[in-house]
């Protein structure tokens, strides 16, 4: 089985984005997954791009526990996506501030 590529043009450009924007891209996919938790296939269809973005984000960094947590949510279809999303955004103060301002 071939791996699905969700963000074909992003691989070369991802590191040109500020870190907070890269984290927000992952959080956006996690938000979609959270909204579709009751549809197992759509839930996984949202987590796959989140995992891909994390892989791109981590390409020049060491591994991340957060990526492993997203993968575990993919496997067991947990309802912890909101917690994961918040933890991800808290990694960068700018991303966290943008989330707070957006949710007002």
Expressed in angstroms, the distance from the first to the final Cα of the chain is 43
More confident site: 62 or 87: 87
More confident site: 28 or 85: 28
Q: Does the structure show a pLDDT above 50 at 30?
A: yes
More confident site: 10 or 35: 35
pTM (two decimals): 0.67
Distance CA 102, CA 38 (A): 25
Residue 100 tokens, joined:
């707070």
Distance CA 32, CA 39 (A): 11
* Residues 6+ positions from 48 with CB-CB distance below 8 Å: 4, 6, 74
Region 41-57: mean pLDDT is 88
Region 41-58: mean pLDDT is 87
């Amino acid at each position: 089985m071939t791996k699905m590529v969700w963000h074909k043009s992003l691989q070369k450009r991802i590191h040109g984005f500020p870190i907070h924007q890269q984290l927000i891209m992952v959080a956006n996919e996690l938000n979609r997954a959270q909204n579709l938790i009751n549809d197992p296939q759509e839930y996984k269809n949202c987590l796959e791009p989140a995992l891909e973005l994390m892989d791109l984000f981590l390409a020049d960094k060491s591994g991340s526990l957060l990526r492993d947590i997203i993968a575990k949510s993919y496997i067991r279809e947990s309802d912890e996506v909101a917690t994961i999303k918040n933890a991800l955004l808290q990694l960068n103060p700018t991303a966290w501030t943008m989330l707070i301002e957006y949710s007002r």
